[in-house]
Amino acid sequence: MVFFSNAIFLCKAQCSFNSEFPRKNFTACSNLPVLNSTLYWNYNISSGMVEIAFRQPGIDIFSTWISWGINPTSIGMIDAQAFVAYTRNDGNLIAYTSPISSYRTSLKEGALSFPVYDVSAMYENNSITIFATLQLPRETIMVDHVWQKGPMYGNNVPKIHSLLRHELRSYGTLNFLSGNVKQGSGGKLIVLKSFHGIMCGISWGIMLPVGVLISRYLKVFKTTDPIWFKLHVTCQSSGYIIGLIGWATGINLGAQLSGLRYKTHGCIGITLFCLATIQVIVGHLIRPKERKYRIIWNIFHFFVGYGTITLGIVNVFIGIQILEPEQRWKATYFGILVLLGCVTVLLETLSTFYLYYHEKNDSLDKMDRATPFNPS
């Protein structure tokens, strides 16, 4: 059978082209957009037969699996028809097929939805290469494909891959004739993670600190009564509701991706939500009027409130490291914190002078009232 592609010259320019595999020569290849992976292929458009070689460098032979697949029904990981390779504990390199139906997959072996032949793999120069021949419908020019790598359990079971930005964007479209590879945007998980990050950043990282500033400084100025309290309650309640939405999204993400947990981020998030819930209940529903109980309530409200703010800001920065957004987002949030810090310094200065001025006037008034009037 004669295989051909009109992408030979383009692909030679796109990747480090090497047609001298031990068993096959390939006429086309492309560097994939992320993970430093390379795909080689021969394609016969009239028969739909494709020979592929998927190479993943930088592999620790006993602790990493690799995979490449085609998704014939949708975009992304779910429903992908994949080829998997890794080295077993006994030192044998194995390659097999695995249909993927869930984010929780352990890449169990199974038949694909299209015929495949000659599935094998080789390890060389810290790289694993998967070889396979697959039968696609005739005149299939473009396919949705995915590729990935991840760690291994000690009992020869692939673990879930990392959920950093590049790992969530290792999918896209492949044109067998032009060699054009278009990268995916990240799909549902990227959307959920971004939504979770934005909601929690606005809530725990911005609105709750602003609510504390309102309570601490605006109430000093008597002319703001009772406006400051209404603003404080509105800001904190809105921040809590937004944070609840972000927290629920995070729980949903954790349920979908049970094989991988960001333990520090998750534990802080749960603690943060519990503290905020207690603060809402105690702060707004159980506020005593008796002075002896009010002192205890003030101490509790103070420490729980500032503890919540501190944990919130810390967890926002941890979340930024996990999500790996563009640098401008990290710089924007850091700039917001600097602005809040500057506002805090300004309000602290103004409130100090305001209290000093009024205490001085109050003292003078008391002295005037204590001095008897002597018209002589």
Binding-site members are 196, 232, 265, 301
Q: Scanning the structure block, which residue is given the tokens 């028969």?
A: 47
Token code pair at residue 174: 């492949």
Half-sphere exposure of 324 (CA within 13 A, CB side): 10
Contact between 28 and 11 under an 8 Å Cβ cutoff? The reply is: yes
Residue (of 100, 109, 99, 87) closest to 156 by Cα position? 87
Alpha helices for 86-132 (secondary structure H): none
What are the residues whose beta carbons fall under 8 Å from the beta carbon of 2, sequence distance 6 or more? 44
Binding site for heme b: which residues?
196, 232, 265, 301
Strand-pair category, 142-151 with 81-87 = unpaired
CA–CA separation, 82 and 112 (whole Å): 8
**How far is CA 202 from each of CA 18, 63, 101, 174, 333, rounded to the nearest angstrom?**
50, 39, 34, 38, 10
Residue (of 25, 30, 24) closest to 9 by Cα position? 30
Q: Scanning the structure block, which residue is given the tokens 């640098």?
A: 327
First to last CA, the chain: 126
Q: Angle of helix 187-202 relative to helix 227-256, nearest 10 degrees? A: 160
CA–CA separation, 116 and 136 (whole Å): 9
